[in-house]
Structures are given as structure tokens and as C-alpha cells.
Amino acid sequence: MGCPMPTLLIVEDEPDMLSVLDFNLRGAGFETLLARGGEEALAHLRRRVPDLILLDLMLPDVPGTEVCRRIKAEPRTRGVPVVMVTARGDEVDRVVGFEVGADDYVTKPFSVRELILRLRAVLRRAGSPGDRPPDAVGPIRIDMDAHRCLVDGAEVDLTPIEFKLLATLLARLGRVQTRERLLADVWGVTADLETRTIDTHVKRLREKLGSGRDLLETVRGIGYRFVDPGEAGAVHERGGGA
């Protein structure tokens, strides 16, 4: 028996584009669900949780960023990967998309072949657990299933991308992660986003980690690493700025 087809919810308000995506993605082996706006997409999600969501940023009713925010706020759907699609290519749009939890970003016009490859790559990342972070490091506790982080017993409010960044660094405890590697593994992009974006997110994450902030070290000229409490600051620059 073959593997079941992955279910893809396509959220797109342009009828011609929706038809083209539906035809090509079904031909590529996806089972498709179609929504022409944000409210229709959310209604679909109340009935069924797909494996992946292809979400247009510019929708006639609810903005794609708000739809993504609601998806990531709902326990039933927060683990579903979201790939955003938009005609806008400004970096600020990409940053906002990633801030609310998008896993990847495609700008119109795009190649359907490239889109299919990127969707499959996102599914592979979501489908393989990879390294799982430890439940606790120093004063920091992380619950992957509930998407919760606690520092000294108090819950910390992290954005989806901050949580993913923290989980990735904790899973690779003691190992230096370059900015480029983090862009690929956390944001799902390569050279499309300025590496300075990572520095900004690390700075915000440190500010939220309280007594655990010094465990997130800057390795000057390379990137970042999370360390065990006994090793913090032993070799590289730590704390403060990104």
C-alpha cells in the first residue's frame, strides 16, 4: 500500500490562480482543499486539519498574516506548516510573515515547479522530528507539544518564530549555529532574508529569557550557540547584544 497523499489547504482569492494551483498540485500528488478567503480557510480548519497550508498574504476579508496568527494560536493547528504567497517582495513583508509563524515564503510570480519543490521540502522538515531539545536547560524549561517556555517556573510569551529559534538552539546544545544555518532551519530560507534579522530575533529572545539569557552565547563572527549553565561564557562573547 502506498503512502497517503499529503493534504494541502490552498488559500487564494484569485480564481484563475486558485485553479492553476489546484490542478498542478493535485497532479504533483497532493490532496487539495480550496478556500477563497481567510474566513473560508478558518472554517476548513475547524472541520479538518491538513498537512500543509499555502496561504496568500493579500486576501479580501481577513489578512493572511492574521489567518496565520490564528492558525498558530490554535493548539489543533499550530503544528501545521504554513507557506505564505504574495505579490509583494519587500523584506518587511517576509519578516512579518515569519513573525506570525510562517514556515516559508514564496513571491509571485513563481514557478509552479519551484513551489512544489519548496512545499515538499517544508513537509519533510515538518515530518521528521530531527533533534528534539532537552526538556530543561538551567532555568529554562520547554514543552514542544504545548509550545510553551518557562523560565524560573514562569511562562514566557514567545512569538512562533522565537519559540522555533529557541527550540532549534536547545536541540543543538553546545554546537555553534551559523546565521546562514539558522536562516535555513528556522526561517526556511537561504539568501532571501538579511542575516541581521537573526541578530534582532536573538536580542529579543535574550531579553525574554531572564536569568537564562547568558546561556545563549554569541560566537563572534560566526553565529550563536546555547550552552549548559556551567559552560556559559567560558570561551565566547555572551549576553548583551547580538
Question: pLDDT (tens digit, 9 = 90+) per residue, 146-187?
Answer: 889 999 999 999 988 899 899 999 988 888 888 877 887 787
Give tens-digit pLDDT for 62-111. 999 999 999 988 877 887 889 998 876 666 666 777 788 888 888 888 88
Q: Are 97 and 88 in contact (CB under 8 A)?
A: no
Mean pLDDT in residue range 193-211? 87
State the Cα–Cα distance between residues 166 and 216, nearest whole angstrom: 9
- pLDDT at 194 exceeding the cut of 80: no
Strand arrangement of the beta sheet that strand 52-56 belongs to = 31-35, 7-11, 52-56, 82-86, 104-107
What integer best gives the mean pLDDT of the chain? 83
Q: Are 218 and 238 in contact (CB under 8 A)?
A: yes
Largest pairwise CA distance in the chain: 59
Q: Which residue has the higher pLDDT, 226 or 134?
A: 226
Give tens-digit pLDDT for 117-157. 889 888 877 654 456 788 899 999 999 878 899 999 999 99
Poorest-pLDDT segment among 54-58, 68-72, 187-191, 230-234: 230-234
Domains identified in the chain and CATH numbers = 7-127 (3.40.50.2300), 136-231 (1.10.10.10)
Poorest-pLDDT segment among 46-60, 126-140, 145-159, 214-228: 126-140
Q: Which residue has the higher pLDDT, 40 or 6?
A: 40
Q: Which residue has the higher pLDDT, 6 or 97?
A: 6
